[in-house]
């Protein structure tokens, strides 16, 4: 028991708490120590015992002092114990509660159990010997009257740790973004390139055939818009959305007039636009707002919201009557159609083809057959 | 003479209640006339919703379509609104079908009576529906509750009076 020295209970630099167990009584050899019940703390460096009520009463012994330790099972009226055999008292030992002891071992008696885990962790620490890697620079004392040195405990210690962590994260972040900024530089070059090609095409309008021009332009489109409208270039709010609507108009007109059959779901538009932009991606919200501008800006496109909430962009010339008539024609042709079949027939998405059929039904041109085989639409013969 | 199905009977959408209001009205009208025609042809007076789902009217095995019980109830409710049907219970599972409304039956009977100059004479109910004289008339073989309802309709018009006789009921036409 005389190996123990007074301590303030604070952890040293590099020292971490491993496990803590309440309700532990100390034995000086086989005799009960003249101390109350307290908490046993195992750190990477020391075994600490602190009185339950009087926290000032705190003693510690270095783990390097331990020769070996063993378990002592519980019996009737006896708590389980861990017996720890210690080296002789070192000459430079700080004062402790005991000056002398006839025993070279102590016992930890676990009144509130937890001895199994404590024993396991103690075994771990004893094999890892972490205290050897970073020996505490100062040996703590309870009185602390003669210690004037700065110690990495308390608020200063915490602050220092936080500062260190912050620096590390800083470094990590800047490393991560280095790649990205390089990519940005390259992207700018790409945009420059596509712009110069675009200009060349304009200059040599007569020299290359129309087919080639179109092909080139489609390459450019898949590569990216030469100079995308961004919040940076056009500010935010209405003006931005108006410019964006203009650009969308230029971009969507061709596919809408071509294979899309005059109508595209907004999700499709979103994907197409953002693929063309490459960088400087649009948010869905900005896209919707820009699409809402079509009408007031007298562009040949319209944003249309179906009853089901599905939003599409369609050509202004693309009239409802025509759409319904074509749906009716198709259904009459085939006798009956499901939305999937109709989608295949027109090369539309299933969602849009269904909307068309429902619209035609709403106008009374079609009627439905809802059976186990699915929803089919028939010409309204009623 | 076999029953002649209307063209709608082989049209699959006929067996799905249409969401479009206009379409649905036309569809229900077609159903009503089909159901009444079928009942008249087979001389059916009472229908059960569950049973009728299996009957050929509402179940076309050829095109593998049948009307759901909910839809059948909608059709029946439509018939009730037109005065061709009365529910027999609160759960609306059984009903009386009148392919002619009581007033229409009454009119037919009165026409027959006046045709033979028997106004002011007394008939037993049995005589009217099962007698030799009425053989070949449409109301021959009419169920008694239906006959009674038609006569009651006539009575409110003041054209007949139902009287109790020794062995049942009789009726006098004016």
Q: For the domain that residue A51 is a member of, what is the CATH number? A: 2.30.29.30
Cβ–Cβ of B12/A371 closer than 8 Å?
yes
Confidence of residue A77 (pLDDT cuts 50, 70, 90): confident
CA dist., res. A252 & res. A262, Å (int) = 10
Q: Which residues on chain A are in Cβ contact (under 8 Å) with B64?
A: 371
Task: DSSP for A333-372, please give it.
Answer: HHS-EEHHHHHHHHT--HHHHHHHHHHHHHTTSEEEEEET
Pick the CATH number of B7-97 from 3.40.190.10, 1.10.10.570, 3.30.70.20, 2.60.40.10: 1.10.10.570
Average pLDDT over residues A185-202: 72
| Residues in chain B within 8 Å Cβ distance of A360 | none
Indicate if the pLDDT at residue A160 is higher than 50.
yes
Q: Which residues of chain A neighbour B15 with C-beta distances below 8 Å?
A: 369, 371
pLDDT, position A146: 46
Subunit contact B13:A369, Cβ cutoff 8 A: yes
Please report the pLDDT score of residue A223 as a whole number.
53
Better-scored residue on pLDDT, A258 or B116: B116
Question: Where residue A237 falls among pLDDT bands split at 50, 70, 90?
Answer: low
Q: How confident is the model at residue A263 (pLDDT cuts 50, 70, 90)?
A: confident
Q: Which residues of chain B have pLDDT under 70?
A: 1
Instruction: Report the gap between the CA of B42 and the closest CA in chain A (Å).
Output: 26
- In chain A, the number of structural domains is 4
From A91, A118, A134, give the residue that closes a domain: A134
For A365, name the nearest residue in chain B, comparing CA atoms only. B23
**Do residues B161 and B169 lie in contact, with contact meaning Cβ atoms separated by under 8 Å?**
no
pLDDT-derived band of residue A147, with 50, 70 and 90 as boundaries?
very low
Q: Could you tell me if A14 and A123 lie in one domain?
A: yes
**Residue in chain B nearest A372 by alpha carbon:** B65
Domain encompassing residue A302: 230-311
Does the pLDDT at position A212 exceed 70?
no
A362 interfaces chain B, CB cutoff of 8 Å: yes
In B, which residues are within 8 Å of A370 by CB distance?
16
Structure token digits, residue B89: 């219970």
Cross-chain Cβ contact A367/B30 below 8 Å: no
Q: With contacts defined as CB-CB under 8 Å, which chain B residues touch A382?
A: 8, 18, 23, 26-27, 30
Looking at A269, A294, A311, the residue that finishes a domain is A311
Mean pLDDT of chain A: 80
Q: For residue B8, how many C-alpha atoms fall within 13 Å in the half-sphere facing its CB?
A: 24
Q: Do A367 and A251 fall into the same domain?
A: no
Q: Residues of A with CB below 8 A from B8's CB?
A: 381-382
pLDDT for the residue A30: 84
Whether A371 and B64 lie within 8 Å, measured CB to CB: yes
Give the burial class of A363: count Cβ atoms within 10 A of its Cβ; 0-12 exposed, 13-18 middle, 19 or more buried: middle
Q: Is the ipTM of this complex over 0.90?
A: no
Say what the pLDDT of residue B136 is: 72
- Write out pLDDT tens, residues A6-50: 888 788 878 888 888 888 988 888 888 888 888 898 988 889 998
Question: pLDDT tens digits for A320-358?
Answer: 777 788 888 888 888 888 888 888 887 777 888 888 888
CATH 3.40.50.1860 fits B102-173, yes or no: no
Give the bridge partners for A85, in sequence order.
A68, A105
Cβ pair B11:A381 closer than 8 A? yes
**A307: pLDDT strictly greater than 70:** yes
Give me the residue spans of the domains in chain B: 7-97, 102-173
> Which of these, A245, A228, A349, lies nearest to A302 by C-alpha position?
A245
Q: What is the pLDDT of residue A324?
A: 84
Classify residue A93: in a domain, yes or no.
Answer: yes
> Is any Cβ of chain B less than 8 angstroms from the Cβ of A336?
yes
DSSP helix/strand/coil, A61:
strand
Say if residue A142's pLDDT is above 50. Answer: no
For B20, the closest of A361, A376, A378 (CB atoms) is A361
């Amino acid at each position: 028991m005389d190996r123990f020295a007074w301590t303030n209970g604070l952890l040293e630099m590099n020292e971490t708490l491993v496990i803590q167990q309440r309700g532990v009584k100390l034995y000086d050899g086989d005799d009960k120590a003249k101390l109350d019940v307290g908490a046993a703390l195992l750190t990477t460096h020391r075994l600490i015992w602190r009185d339950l009520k009087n926290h000032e009463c705190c003693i510690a012994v270095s783990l390097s002092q331990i020769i070996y330790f063993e378990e002592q099972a519980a019996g009737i009226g006896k708590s389980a114990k861990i017996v720890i055999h210690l080296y002789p008292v070192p000459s430079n030992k700080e004062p402790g509660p005991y000056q002398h002891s006839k025993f070279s071992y102590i016992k930890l008696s676990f009144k509130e159990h937890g001895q199994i885990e404590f024993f396991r962790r103690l075994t771990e620490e004893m094999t890892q010997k972490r205290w050897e890697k970073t020996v505490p620079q100062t040996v703590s004392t309870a009185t602390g009257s003669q210690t004037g040195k700065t110690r990495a405990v308390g608020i200063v210690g915490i602050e220092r740790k936080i500062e260190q962590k912050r620096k590390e994260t800083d470094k990590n972040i800047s490393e991560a973004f280095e790649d990205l900024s390089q990519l940005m530089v390259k992207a700018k070059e790409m945009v420059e390139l596509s712009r110069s090609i675009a200009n060349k095409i304009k200059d040599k309008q007569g020299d290359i055939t129309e087919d080639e021009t179109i092909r080139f332009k489609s390459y450019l489109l898949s590569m990216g818009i030469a100079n995308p409208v961004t919040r940076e270039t056009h500010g935010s709010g209405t003006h931005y959305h108006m410019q964006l609507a203009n650009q969308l108009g230029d971009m969507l007109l061709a596919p809408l007039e071509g294979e899309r059959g005059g109508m595209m779901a907004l999700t499709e538009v979103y994907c197409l636009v953002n693929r063309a932009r490459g960088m400087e991606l649009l948010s869905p919200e900005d896209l919707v707002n820009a699409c809402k501008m079509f009408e007031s800006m007298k562009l040949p496109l319209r944003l249309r919201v179906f009853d089901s909430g599905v939003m599409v962009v369609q050509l202004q010339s693309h009239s409802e009557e025509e759409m319904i008539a074509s749906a009716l024609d198709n259904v009459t042709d085939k006798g009956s159609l499901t939305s999937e079949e109709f989608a295949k027939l027109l090369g539309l998405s299933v969602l849009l083809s269904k909307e068309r059929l429902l619209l035609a039904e709403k106008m009374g041109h079609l009627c439905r057959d809802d059976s186990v085989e699915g929803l089919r639409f028939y010409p309204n013969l009623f | 003479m076999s029953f002649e199905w209307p063209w709608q009977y082989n049209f699959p959408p006929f067996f799905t209640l249409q969401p479009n209001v206009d379409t649905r009205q036309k569809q229900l009208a077609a159903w009503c006339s089909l159901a009444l025609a079928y009942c008249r042809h087979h001389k059916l007076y009472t229908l059960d919703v569950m049973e009728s789902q299996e009957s050929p009217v509402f179940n076309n095995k050829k095109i593998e379509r049948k009307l759901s019980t909910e839809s059948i109830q909608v059709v029946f409710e439509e018939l009730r609104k037109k005065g061709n049907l009365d529910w027999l219970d609160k759960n609306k599972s059984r009903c009386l079908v009148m392919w002619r409304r009581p007033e229409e039956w009454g009119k037919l009977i009165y026409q027959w009576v006046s045709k033979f100059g028997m106004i002011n004479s007394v008939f037993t109910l049995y005589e009217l529906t099962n007698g030799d004289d009425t053989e070949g008339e449409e109301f021959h073989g009419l169920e008694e509750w239906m006959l009674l309802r038609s006569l009651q309709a006539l009575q409110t018009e003041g054209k007949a009076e139902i009287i109790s006789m020794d062995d049942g009921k009789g009726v006098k036409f004016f």
